[in-house]
Amino acid sequence: MEHIDKMSDDVKQAALEEAQRTYKGFINFIKWISVIAIVLILVMGFNNFLDDPTASQSDPAWKEDYMSNMGMDE
Protein backbone atom coordinates (compact mmCIF):
# COMPACT_ATOMS: atom_id res chain seq x y z
CA MET A 1 0.00 0.00 0.00
CA GLU A 2 2.91 2.31 0.72
CA HIS A 3 4.18 1.81 -2.84
CA ILE A 4 0.83 3.04 -4.25
CA ASP A 5 0.91 6.11 -1.99
CA LYS A 6 4.47 6.87 -3.13
CA MET A 7 3.45 6.54 -6.77
CA SER A 8 0.39 8.70 -6.14
CA ASP A 9 2.57 11.40 -4.56
CA ASP A 10 4.90 11.31 -7.59
CA VAL A 11 1.95 11.73 -9.95
CA LYS A 12 0.56 14.57 -7.86
CA GLN A 13 3.95 16.29 -7.81
CA ALA A 14 4.34 15.93 -11.59
CA ALA A 15 0.82 17.25 -12.16
CA LEU A 16 1.48 20.18 -9.83
CA GLU A 17 4.70 21.09 -11.64
CA GLU A 18 2.96 20.89 -15.02
CA ALA A 19 0.06 23.02 -13.77
CA GLN A 20 2.46 25.66 -12.42
CA ARG A 21 4.43 25.73 -15.69
CA THR A 22 1.21 26.04 -17.71
CA TYR A 23 -0.11 28.80 -15.45
CA LYS A 24 3.12 30.79 -15.82
CA GLY A 25 2.91 30.40 -19.60
CA PHE A 26 -0.71 31.54 -19.60
CA ILE A 27 0.13 34.61 -17.50
CA ASN A 28 2.99 35.52 -19.86
CA PHE A 29 0.68 35.11 -22.86
CA ILE A 30 -1.95 37.39 -21.29
CA LYS A 31 0.73 39.97 -20.44
CA TRP A 32 1.94 40.09 -24.06
CA ILE A 33 -1.60 40.33 -25.42
CA SER A 34 -2.28 43.20 -23.00
CA VAL A 35 0.92 45.02 -23.95
CA ILE A 36 0.15 44.65 -27.66
CA ALA A 37 -3.42 45.91 -27.15
CA ILE A 38 -2.26 48.94 -25.13
CA VAL A 39 0.42 49.82 -27.69
CA LEU A 40 -2.10 49.45 -30.51
CA ILE A 41 -4.57 51.72 -28.73
CA LEU A 42 -1.87 54.32 -28.11
CA VAL A 43 -0.68 54.24 -31.72
CA MET A 44 -4.25 54.57 -32.97
CA GLY A 45 -4.86 57.44 -30.56
CA PHE A 46 -1.74 59.38 -31.49
CA ASN A 47 -2.57 59.02 -35.19
CA ASN A 48 -6.19 60.13 -34.74
CA PHE A 49 -7.28 56.81 -36.20
CA LEU A 50 -10.99 57.17 -35.48
CA ASP A 51 -11.16 60.93 -36.01
CA ASP A 52 -13.80 62.04 -38.50
CA PRO A 53 -12.90 65.59 -39.52
CA THR A 54 -16.28 66.16 -41.13
CA ALA A 55 -18.06 64.96 -38.00
CA SER A 56 -20.37 63.04 -40.33
CA GLN A 57 -21.77 66.26 -41.76
CA SER A 58 -22.70 66.35 -45.41
CA ASP A 59 -21.91 69.30 -47.61
CA PRO A 60 -25.17 70.87 -48.84
CA ALA A 61 -23.36 72.10 -51.94
CA TRP A 62 -23.05 68.48 -53.09
CA LYS A 63 -26.76 67.70 -52.82
CA GLU A 64 -27.45 68.63 -56.44
CA ASP A 65 -24.59 66.45 -57.72
CA TYR A 66 -25.72 63.56 -55.54
CA MET A 67 -29.29 63.74 -56.72
CA SER A 68 -28.11 63.89 -60.33
CA ASN A 69 -25.78 60.91 -59.89
CA MET A 70 -28.53 58.86 -58.27
CA GLY A 71 -30.99 59.70 -61.03
CA MET A 72 -33.23 61.56 -58.64
CA ASP A 73 -33.30 64.88 -60.49
CA GLU A 74 -36.19 67.05 -59.50
pLDDT in tens, 18-43: 999 999 999 999 999 999 999 999 99
User: What is the share, in percent, of the chain residues with pLDDT greater than 90?
Assistant: 39
Given a cut of 80, is residue 55 above it in pLDDT? no
pLDDT of residue 27: 98
Residue type, 29: F
End-to-end CA distance of the chain: 97
- Helix extents (H) in the chain: 2-46, 63-69
pTM for the model: 0.54
